[in-house]
Amino acid sequence: SQKIEQNSEALNIQEGKTATLTCNYTNYSPAYLQWYRQDPGRGPVFLLLIRENEKEKRKERLKVTFDTTLKQSLFHITASQPADSATYLCALNSGNNRLAFGKGNQVVVIP
């Protein structure tokens, strides 16, 4: 089964800067990869999906890249704002037709 790795250390970033998070996976490359946002004590919320044949996907200030050679996805928040402070989870197909989630990476945007 897939192993999904996200940085366990929180990313502290100054407001206005770009936050970049990494999601690495082992084994085979999935057909798609998803990113979710989770606020403390609340359920994850779907943000973006990128397919294996897409190098980059954007949604407002969010950008996701997918490199199947490196087995890695990068998640960028440009012009970060304090309201972007949350934990971000990547998720991908675990090989048995189910989604597997990473443990998440916390972002703290400092005003």
What are the respective helix, strand and coil percentages of the chain, to the nearest 5?
A: 5, 55, 40
Nearer to other proteins, 40 or 111 (CB): 40
**β-strand pairing of 11-14 with 105-110:** parallel
- Torsion over CA of 76, 49, 106 and 102, rounded to 10 degrees? -130
Nearer to other proteins, 51 or 58 (CB): 51
Stretch that binds other proteins, among 11-19, 62-70, 73-81, 89-97 (CB under 8 A): 89-97
Residues 46-85 that bind other proteins (CB under 8 A): 46, 49
Task: Give Dmax (Cα) for the chain.
Answer: 43
Least Å from the CB of residue 16 to other proteins: 30
Residues that bind other proteins (CB under 8 A): 8, 32, 34, 41-46, 49, 89, 91, 93, 97-99, 101-104
